[in-house]
């Protein structure tokens, strides 16, 4: 099965989080056949009932290829044309899985050992698979994580900091606003102060960004609102400590801010300068499973075919040319790390 056929076969298996069981079984069976021919081992590692990671190893792994097998909703099947393979997960990340499998097949045919494939569940929701894998490291020195980077080696990824901001007031008839206290007005005042917080900047990762993603509140147009809330999402380029303190100060007296999520920004591993010159590089604004691995599977590298701009959309697709290119890039990177 060539890389295009494998990509389509994987896309056509609905694996919207948390329904990864069928694609996990498919991959376990596929890799078991490869392992039987090449002296490898395959195991499934339970994360939750009917949800498991798939790990294939050939010797003690020095380099582990890894990505996630779940997708965002809604599921829609594959199709292809001369240039693209389309479908849910085509670039995030089933085309990446196909390229990694073919790269490992190529390395094994060259006699390379000390490699592994680790496919995990739950990245699109809470990195449950990566968190489980972090407790079961096989001593790998490097992990090549796959996400859509247009086959450019990522130098770093921004982190994520999310808050729920809540304001409380007192209901009253809208004809007599002085008898009530508007939670919506308090929330708007708090959010205006949040928007004025200076955002951080990193020389590699660039600037932090802030998004007020949702606003909810009120009972009816003729009732002074007693409750209002908003969700604020910041793509951070540091640990998030400075913004955490700043948002608490900004909302004080108007609302309360509850931290929901914090994933620090991450600088990736790099290669010697002569080797780095062979790769195009980039910086990504999204988060990955890498922080959840916590270094347990080695120093992280991030690279994969496809554009993040097509991921999570109803036009998700991956260029066929990049799938083929990724196979060679993955092989080249693994050889470099093993000899290094």
Confidence at residue 63, expressed as pLDDT on a 0 to 100 scale: 98
Cα 28 → chain centroid: 22
pLDDT at 340: 81
Are the C-beta atoms of 159 and 292 separated by less than 8 Å? Answer: no
Q: Does the reported pTM lie above 0.85?
A: yes
Strand partners, 307: none
C-alpha 208/C-alpha 159 separation (Å) is: 9
Say how many C-beta atoms besides its own lie within 10 A of residue 271's C-beta: 16
| φ, ψ for residue 218, nearest 5 deg | 85, 160
Task: Give dist(CA 257, CA 255) in Å, integer.
Answer: 7
Check whether 261 has a pLDDT greater than 90.
no
**Annotated catalytic residue, options 20, 21, 48, 123:** 123
Mean of per-residue pLDDT scores for the chain: 96
Is residue 123 part of the annotated active site? The answer reads yes
**Cα–Cα dist 305/337, whole Å:** 20
Confidence of residue 263 (pLDDT cuts 50, 70, 90): confident
Q: How far apart are CA 277 and CA 327, in angstroms?
A: 19
Q: How many CB atoms lie within 10 A of CB 315?
A: 9
Query: How far lies 223's CA from each of 217, 228, 234, 248, in Å?
Result: 11, 13, 32, 29
State mean pLDDT over 120-138: 94
User: Could you read off the pLDDT of 27-57 as tens digits, one per residue?
Assistant: 999 999 999 999 999 999 999 999 999 999 9
d(C-alpha 323, C-alpha 239), whole Å: 34
* CA dihedral of 267, 271, 276, 279, whole degrees rounded to 10: -70
6-35 pLDDT, tens digit per residue, is: 999 999 999 999 999 999 999 999 999 999
* Tens-place pLDDT, residues 60-87: 999 999 999 999 999 999 999 999 999 9
Q: Please, which pLDDT band fits residue 137 given cuts at 50, 70 and 90? A: confident
Between the alpha carbon of residue 49 and those of residues 18, 20, 53, 126, the distances in Å are: 10, 11, 12, 16
């Amino acid at each position: 099965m060539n890389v295009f056929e494998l990509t389509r076969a994987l896309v056509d298996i609905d694996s919207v989080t948390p329904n990864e069981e069928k694609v996990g079984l498919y991959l376990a069976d596929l890799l078991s056949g490869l392992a039987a021919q090449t002296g490898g081992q395959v195991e499934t590692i339970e994360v939750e009932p009917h949800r498991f990671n798939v790990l294939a190893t050939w010797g003690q792994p020095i380099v582990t290829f890894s990505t996630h097998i779940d997708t965002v909703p809604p599921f829609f099947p594959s199709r292809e044309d001369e240039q693209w393979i389309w479908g849910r997960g085509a670039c995030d990340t089933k085309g990446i899985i196909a390229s990694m499998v073919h790269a490992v097949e190529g390395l094994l045919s060259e006699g390379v050992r000390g490699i592994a494939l680790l496919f995990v569940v739950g990245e699109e929701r809470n990195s449950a698979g990566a968190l489980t894998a972090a407790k079961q490291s096989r001593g790998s020195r490097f992990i090549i994580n796959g996400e859509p980077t247009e086959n450019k080696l990522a130098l770093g990824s921004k982190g994520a900091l999310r808050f729920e901001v809540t304001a409380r007031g007192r209901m009253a008839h809208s004809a007599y606003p002085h008898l009530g206290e508007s939670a919506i007005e308090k929330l708007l005042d708090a959010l205006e102060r949040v928007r004025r917080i200076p955002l951080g900047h990193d020389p590699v990762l660039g600037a932090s960004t802030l998004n007020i993603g949702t606003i909810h509140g009120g009972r009816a147009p003729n009732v002074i609102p007693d409750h209002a809330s908003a969700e604020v999402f910041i793509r951070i380029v540091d640990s998030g400590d400075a913004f955490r303190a700043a948002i608490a100060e900004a909302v004080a007296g108007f609302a309360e801010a509850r931290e929901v999520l914090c994933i620090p920004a991450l600088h990736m591993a790099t290669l010697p300068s002569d080797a780095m010159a062979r790769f195009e590089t980039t910086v990504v604004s999204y988060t990955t499973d890498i922080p959840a691995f916590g270094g347990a599977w080695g120093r992280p590298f991030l690279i994969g075919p496809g554009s993040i701009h097509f991921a999570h959309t109803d036009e998700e697709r991956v260029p066929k040319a990049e799938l083929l290119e990724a196979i060679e890039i993955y092989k080249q990177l693994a050889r470099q790390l093993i000899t290094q």
